[in-house]
Amino acid sequence: MIYALLATPLVTGLVSALVPWRRWVPLLGVASLLGVLAVALVLAHDALHSPARALHGSLAVDPLSALMLLVIGAVGLLAAIGGVRYLDLQLARAQCSTRQASLYAALVQGFIAAMLLTVLARNIAIMWVAVEATTIVTTFLVGHRRTRGAIEASWKYIIICSVGIALAFLGTILLYVASSHTGGPASLDWATLVREAPQMNHAVVRLAFSLIVLGYGTKVGLAPLHSWLPDAHSQAPAPVSALMSGVLLAVAFYAIVRCRSIAVSALGSDFVRTTLLISGLATLVVAVSMLLAQRDYKRMLAYSSMEHMGLLCLGAAAGTPLAFAAVLLHMIGHGLAKGVLFLGAGEILELEGTSEIAQVRGLLARRPALGGLFALGLAALLGLPPFSVFASELGLVRSLSAAGLTWVAGLALAALALVMVGMSAPAATMLLGPGTGRATSPRLVRAPLGAALGVLALVGVVAWPLSLLIHAGATVAAQ
């Protein structure tokens, strides 16, 4: 099963790259993601009873990675459908050659495969290799439109993320060094490291964990190495923004969660908690203040991604199973909501020709379907019931105060309130107001977004069928 999971996007990617451009190439991509999602569902079901393993245990699916697989599959499917529309438009206007369209299709599959490998790998150095591979693959995707802004964004993206991720590699090496001085064999296997951690040298683990948070934090969009994020997310094609914001950030965050278990097992929770609190709060401050000043809706969504990653970081700082259950639910909710919003924003940009908030007016009157979906997506993102973000934000705040971090819970609530105000005003500008002429978007755009919102509401109301998996995953994460 695990081999099938990895092979699906890899083979699809190779076919897309090698076969001359045909109209079915993007549809093949959609089929591939359907396959990934289906296999992920089976693996998630199995993970509750007996984790699947492959390659002598170097790839494995426990409940935590199963949950990540589902997020990758679901948001990936959304983005693959969005990709069909994006390539159609680009080719129709001759803004990209068929060669570039094939490259786009192939790279998206490579991107998915790299993220799958990140969450499947047991070896934390292989996990690092996979995260770095996502950077390389997405750089071309960010710059796919070949405008000056897009090329600038991809340059900044690869330079800043490569530097950041290099720090995470140094951290990983230091954990390896620490493990080789515990008496046991030197290892990079996650479970072995957690087991050996109590014998590790504290100073080395402290240094390693700081480097890992700073390094992977660059990819997560945590302050201070976040400056690539708003540029890349606003310049990339909409489906790529959806994937990067909805899943890639969460996948990088997953890497921090895995390394956190090792650090907690070695040092106890104090140092780890302080480190994560500092990064989470710093990120929230940067994100909220920049978000309030935004005039561009795609950049506003990008800063909102940072805000949500900051919240996840605070949840990880609390570190209880309850907190991680909220963190995992929040990852799912944020991934789907951001997928919907970036695809919706891409469509708005396509139809209105501007990404400035002030230039877009009366969307609900003029384009009721698209405007309505965008409005519901915003409601989901801002944590209004019945969507699942409501439940997960509530859970996060509660678990923070239960973990003795009431002041942090207060700050998080204040940030949420500010964001609510800060995003409602521009949303009102864009959505409300009079408008003439009614235009509809193709069903290809509306249907998947509507379905994603439906899933969000379903998960928000009954938590079925994910609750078992979330609790099992949270237990693994909180180890």
Partner 1 sequence: MKVSYVTPLDLAVVVVIVTAALTLWRQSLVASLRALSLQGVGLGVVAMVLGAHRRDPVLVFVGVLVLLIKGAAIPRLISRVVARDHPGREGSPLINIPASLVGAGLLTLLAFGATRGLVALIATPAARLIPFGVATTLIGFFAMVVRRRAVSQIVGLLTIDNGIALTAFLATSGVPLVVELGVSLDVLLAVAVLRVLAGHLHRQFNIQDLDQLRDLHD
Binding site for partner 1 (CB under 8 A): 123, 125-126, 128-129, 132-133, 135-136, 139-140, 143, 146, 148-149, 151-156, 158-159, 162-163, 166, 169-170, 173-174, 176-177, 180-181, 186, 188, 201, 203-204, 207, 230-231, 234-235, 290, 293-294, 299
Of 201 and 429, CB closest to partner 1: 201
Closer CB to partner 1, residue 135 or residue 261? Answer: 135
Q: Which is nearer to partner 1, 21 or 303 (CB)?
A: 303
Residue 318: CB minimum distance to partner 1, A:
29
CB 151 → partner 1: shortest distance, Å? 5
Nearer to partner 1, 214 or 363 (CB): 214
Shortest CB 344 distance to partner 1, Å: 22
Closer CB to partner 1, 38 or 129, in the complex: 129
Minimum distance from residue 155 beta carbon to partner 1 (Å): 5
CB of 17 to partner 1, least distance (A): 15
Which residue lies nearer to partner 1 by CB, 305 or 388?
305
Query: Minimum distance from CB of 137 to partner 1 (Å)?
Result: 9
Distance of closest approach, residue 152 Cβ to partner 1, in angstroms:
5
Contacts 24+ apart (CB under 8 A), 468-472: 468/48, 469/44, 469/47, 469/48, 469/63, 469/66, 469/67, 469/70, 470/67, 470/325, 470/328, 470/329, 471/321, 471/325, 472/47, 472/48, 472/63
Closest to partner 1 by CB, 345 vs 405, is: 345
* Distance separating alpha carbons of residues 357 and 409, to the nearest angstrom: 31
φ/ψ of residue 78, rounded to 5: -55, -45
CB nearer to partner 1: pick between 94 and 437: 94
Nearest approach, Cβ of residue 167 and partner 1 (Å): 8
Nearest distance from C-beta of residue 335 to partner 1, angstroms: 25
When the beta carbons of 147 and 406 are compared against partner 1, the nearer one is 147
How far apart are CB 450 and partner 1 at their closest, in Å?
32
Nearest residue (CB) to partner 1, 192 versus 388: 192
- Supply the minimum distance, in Å, between the C-beta of residue 192 and partner 1: 13
Residue 153 or 193: which CB sits closer to partner 1?
153
Task: Give the integer Cα–Cα distance in Å for 143 and 458.
Answer: 36
